[in-house]
Amino acid sequence: MKLEIYALLFGIASARVLRVPENKDINQCPKDLPVSCSSSHVDNGCCTETNGIILLTQFWDWHYSPYEGREDTWTLHGLWSDHCDGSYSQFCDKSMMLHNISTSILAAGETELYNEMNEFWLDNRGHNDYFWQHEYNKHGTCYSTLKPSCRTDNGTSVNVLVDYFKKIVETYKGLPTYRFLEKKGIVPSSTRKYKFADIKRALKEEFGHEPTIHCDGGGDKIHEVWYSYNLVGPLLSGKLIPREPAARDNCKSDVYYLPKHQARRHQMGEFQEESFTISETEIELLR
């Protein structure tokens, strides 16, 4: 931990911080922008996302210890942009790719953002900065409204990297999945199974549309939820509109919603049931 702190401090001075000017076309966009992926298309990737389905994704990491986060909170996976047909691109623009995300955020004076990300946006092996870098380079570089070609210097610059992560954290905080389920009496349990339809119904009641839910452990252990949106306007300044799910579930009709401390207690011998894990490769196959 100390070595990571020293490396972070010494790296701030040399960190590559992405700073680009304000969007040059936002004031030239139509006043009544259409919803992305609608029939009223705007042929301008600076005004409307060309990849018009946006997914806010969260983990329930009951099987990773000690990096699964708070026991009453789903953690953040990312904010992804999909094509309107449900397919997606990745690692879209090498010129936009970055490293040292932590040092860039701290160099911009965004300590609060950095602390929030370390609380809620966790890598399952404890390498948060690498996870954030992966998410930005894989998905963040695919947003058309963040492209350098959409921006020009008019005397005021913004830190797009910081604003990108702020947008994600803000959207995530508006989707407290644990509380949504808790309202309907759906809480983690190592012995009780829930009807998958009841879980979907509880989340739909709060979000307005059903999310996509992924399970592991043979399809009966909840692991991840994806909330789908369309977007009006550019990512950073636009409005996210909840929509029907853009991907399919893979869960059985009856599922476990296991406590996060399940793995630790299993290791201590308090549970004798089989322990399931999921590899990083398997997670990537889901996405």
Q: Could you say which of 49, 68, 139, 223 is catalytic?
A: 139
Is the pLDDT at 231 greater than 90, yes or no? yes
Q: Does 16 reside within a domain?
A: no
For the chain, what percentages of helix, strand and coil (3-state, to nearest 5) are there?
Answer: 35, 15, 50
Q: Does 178 reside within a domain?
A: yes
Q: Could you say which of 77, 214, 223, 266 is catalytic?
A: 77
Is the pLDDT at 262 greater than 80, yes or no? no
Contact between residue 130 and residue 123 where contact means Cβ atoms under 8 Å apart: yes
Q: What is the CATH number of the domain that holds 254?
A: 3.90.730.10
Q: Is 223 a catalytic residue?
A: no
Count: domains in the chain: 1
| Beta carbons within 10 angstroms of residue 210's beta carbon | 18
Amino acid identity of residue 264, one-letter, is R
Q: What is the pLDDT of residue 259?
A: 93
Q: What is the pLDDT of residue 209?
A: 98
- Ranges of beta strands (E only) in the chain are 20-21, 53-59, 75-82, 157-158, 193-195, 212-216, 221-232, 239-242, 254-256
Q: What is the pLDDT of residue 242?
A: 98
pLDDT digits (tens, 9 = 90+) for 121-179: 999 888 999 999 999 999 999 999 888 778 654 323 336 889 999 999 999 999 999 99
Q: What is the pLDDT of residue 13?
A: 35
Q: Does 21 reside within a domain?
A: no
The average confidence (pLDDT) of the chain is 81
Closest of 132, 240, 265 to residue 188, by C-alpha? 265
Closest of 185, 182, 203, 208 to residue 251, by C-alpha? 203
Q: Does 18 reside within a domain?
A: no
Q: Could you say which of 49, 68, 116, 135 is catalytic?
A: 135
Q: Is 135 a catalytic residue?
A: yes
Q: What is the pLDDT of residue 70?
A: 87
Q: What is the pLDDT of residue 99?
A: 87
Q: What is the pLDDT of residue 6?
A: 34
Residue 228: strand pairing partners: 55
List the domain range (segments joined by +) for residue 202. Answer: 28-150+158-286
Establish whether the linkage from the previous residue to 66 is cis, with ω within 30° of 0: yes
Q: Does 194 reside within a domain?
A: yes
Is the pLDDT at 189 greater than 50, yes or no? yes
Q: Does 1 reside within a domain?
A: no
DSSP 151: B
Q: Does 4 reside within a domain?
A: no
Closest of 208, 228, 287, 217 to residue 257, by C-alpha? 217
Q: What is the pLDDT of residue 69?
A: 84
Mean pLDDT across 76-93: 94
- The DSSP code sequence of 15-41 is -----EE-BSSGGGS-SSPPBTTSSS-
Q: Does 7 reside within a domain?
A: no
Q: What is the pLDDT of residue 32?
A: 83
Distance CA 239, CA 76 (A): 20
pLDDT digits (tens, 9 = 90+) for 212-224: 999 987 899 999 9
Distance CA 260, CA 274 (A): 15
pLDDT digits (tens, 9 = 90+) for 3-55: 333 334 334 333 333 333 344 445 567 778 889 998 775 667 888 898 899 99
Mean pLDDT across 107-113: 94
